[in-house]
Copies of this chain bind each other. A is one copy, B any other.
Amino acid sequence: MAKKLTSREEDYSKWYNELVMQADLAQHSDVKGCMVIKPYGYAIWENMRDVLDKMFKDTGHQNAYFPLFIPKSYMSKEAKHVEGFAKECAVVTHYRLKNDENGGVVVDPDAKLEEELIVRPTSETIIWNTYRTWIQSYRDLPILINQWANVVRWEMRTRLFLRTAEFLWQEGHTAHATKAEAIEESEKMLHVYASFAEQWMAMPVVRGVKSESERFAGAEDTYCIEALMQDGKALQAGTSHFLGQNFAKAFDVKFADKTGKMEHVWASSWGVSTRLMGALIMTHSDDEGLVLPPKLAPIQVVMVPIYKNEEQLNALSEKMDELSAKLSDLGIRVKVDLDDTKKPGWKFAEYELKGVPVRIAMGPRDLENGSIEVARRDTKEKQGIPLEGAANFVADLLNKIQENLFLRSAAFRTEHTTEVQDYAEFKEVLEAKGGFVSAHWDGTAETEEKIKQETKATIRCIPLDAKEEEGKCIYTGAPSNKRVLFAKAY
């Protein structure tokens, strides 16, 4: 059992790092920027992945797998893409090692690749190069493909889950006969991500579109979901790109339409990554540790017996096994912790740290009374209830916790979303309160850049549901017809 966490108030960033390590979610590896995702952290990721995978399949997508390596020359085929991605990446230059005289190994200079390979930072290029061989006519469209994979973007300053050189993600890559269809697809997947964030992660998100300077390199439009963390910083939780015909043109992918005319194919791509783990942690957790929404928790209910002797333990474990069986029948993931080497108090703290949504304790008196003690992780409320009917009570409680976590973070977001009228107010709110700041902007990259330089706040998105509203840019006073959301961000 780990020592007490630094509090969020004292040092949010330190709290986060300690929590990730102590709750056994992940750790840094010896390889700069690469993390080890530990079993408990990976189990949460698996739950997220399985739900998303089903959502993708339910919307007509299939999985496939494309190579880890991309020939260097592919990176520069799409002019903007190369600016965004070709810079910080892992480059494979050789394909063999050989022994040296000290018993170690050295790179064999004779095994130099003719063309260097890039470890994929994202797969548009290699995938569109493949799509060229798949697409001849409109009958071959649409192609609706997703890939679960690891990608590498070299990072100097890394944080577990939030920014790592290697991360796990999914990347959807679709090909369409019309512009309208490709746009519809990118919007559809944005809404899939938003539903996942809200219904599974209990994390409210703003659906929006990026300003030009925050767009994916090679996209015509980047849609995003933006979440607000407890420290008032925003986090981009998923993006979906309308790619126009940019990659089709770069890789010469054309199709014959119904009239036989050859046209370039329209594209979308969309992705979420293990970064969602960071978002999940920072949305709900507290100074005692992780708080997990029940729908994604590897263990939803843990039962801890409190006893003085083996006879009591046996009696308790019998009752707990019965309840555990009933909970399992309701599809609830439950653990009965009979480990005799650890005290109940230690276990309570440990499962709090791990964010298990419901803890059930049962002692000799409960045995006499036919009762149990139920503690919920989100509010830390405890209550005694009859053992009879406990399974349904707990199933219901899990739903309540899921809902409460969503409502709690939604309230936090509402409280930390501020409309401002001028630049002075903008800076004051950013400094004093943080969160999303809703303001008029003149639509230029110059203004955006100046505000970023002066305040560190960026335009997170232009919300899809932004109202038409006459206003003046907080920075230049130029006319603006809708508010955009600014924030400091992860």
A154 contact set on B, CB distance < 8 A? 95-96
**Complexed CA–CA distance, A152 and B117 (Å):** 13
Chain B CB within 10 A, most for which of A66, A75, A97: A97
A82 contact set on B, CB distance < 8 A? 99, 105
Closest CB in chain B relative to A487 CB, distance in Å: 30
In the complex, A72 has a CB within 8 A of chain B: yes
In the complex, A67 has a CB within 8 A of chain B: yes
In the complex, A88 has a CB within 8 A of chain B: yes
Contact assessment for A67 and B145 in the assembled complex, using a CB-CB cutoff below 8 Å: no
In the complex, A331 has a CB within 8 A of chain B: no
Contact assessment for A96 and B92 in the assembled complex, using a CB-CB cutoff below 8 Å: no
A145 contact set on B, CB distance < 8 A? 39
List residues 1-58 of chain A with CB under 8 A from any CB of chain B. Answer: 27, 29-31, 34-39, 42-43, 46
Contact assessment for A130 and B29 in the assembled complex, using a CB-CB cutoff below 8 Å: yes
In the complex, A213 has a CB within 8 A of chain B: no
In the complex, A369 has a CB within 8 A of chain B: no
List residues 69-128 of chain A with CB under 8 A from any CB of chain B. Answer: 69-73, 75-76, 82, 86-99, 103-105, 107, 116-119, 126
Contact assessment for A93 and B72 in the assembled complex, using a CB-CB cutoff below 8 Å: no
In the complex, A139 has a CB within 8 A of chain B: yes
A133 contact set on B, CB distance < 8 A? 27
Tell me how many residues of A have a C-beta within 8 Å of chain B: 63
List residues 282-307 of chain A with CB under 8 A from any CB of chain B. Answer: none
Contact assessment for A152 and B88 in the assembled complex, using a CB-CB cutoff below 8 Å: no
Contact assessment for B64 and A76 in the assembled complex, using a CB-CB cutoff below 8 Å: no
Contact assessment for B117 and A68 in the assembled complex, using a CB-CB cutoff below 8 Å: no
Contact assessment for B69 and A166 in the assembled complex, using a CB-CB cutoff below 8 Å: yes
Contact assessment for B42 and A64 in the assembled complex, using a CB-CB cutoff below 8 Å: yes
In the complex, A63 has a CB within 8 A of chain B: yes
Q: Which of B37, B68, B89 contacts A64 (CB 8 A)?
A: B37
In the complex, A476 has a CB within 8 A of chain B: no
A455 contact set on B, CB distance < 8 A? none
Whose C-beta in chain B lies nearest to the C-beta of A129? B30
Known: A29-B66, A130-B29, A166-B67. A93 touches B73 (CB 8 A): no
In the complex, A62 has a CB within 8 A of chain B: yes
Contact assessment for B105 and A92 in the assembled complex, using a CB-CB cutoff below 8 Å: no
Contact assessment for B126 and A31 in the assembled complex, using a CB-CB cutoff below 8 Å: yes
A70 contact set on B, CB distance < 8 A? 31
Whose C-beta in chain B lies nearest to the C-beta of A95? B154
Closest CB in chain B relative to A283 CB, distance in Å: 22
Contact assessment for A91 and B86 in the assembled complex, using a CB-CB cutoff below 8 Å: no
Q: Which of B36, B46, B64 contacts A67 (CB 8 A)?
A: B36
**Complexed CA–CA distance, A30 and B125 (Å):** 11
Contact assessment for B34 and A69 in the assembled complex, using a CB-CB cutoff below 8 Å: yes
**Complexed CA–CA distance, A90 and B93 (Å):** 8
Known: A30-B129, A96-B87, A126-B29. A68 touches B150 (CB 8 A): yes
A68-B150, A91-B94, A91-B97 provided; 13 other pairs, C-beta below 8 A?
A29-B130, A31-B117, A31-B126, A36-B67, A69-B90, A69-B166, A76-B104, A88-B96, A91-B92, A91-B107, A92-B92, A93-B107, A107-B116
Q: List 25 A-B contacts (CB under 8 A).
A: A27-B130, A29-B66, A29-B67, A30-B129, A31-B70, A31-B71, A36-B64, A38-B64, A43-B63, A65-B168, A67-B166, A68-B119, A72-B97, A73-B104, A76-B103, A82-B105, A87-B96, A87-B98, A89-B95, A89-B96, A91-B95, A92-B92, A92-B119, A93-B107, A149-B150
Enumerate the 7 nearest inter-chain pairs by beta-carbon distance, A residue then B residue, closest first. A34-B67, A39-B62, A37-B65, A91-B94, A95-B154, A93-B93, A90-B92
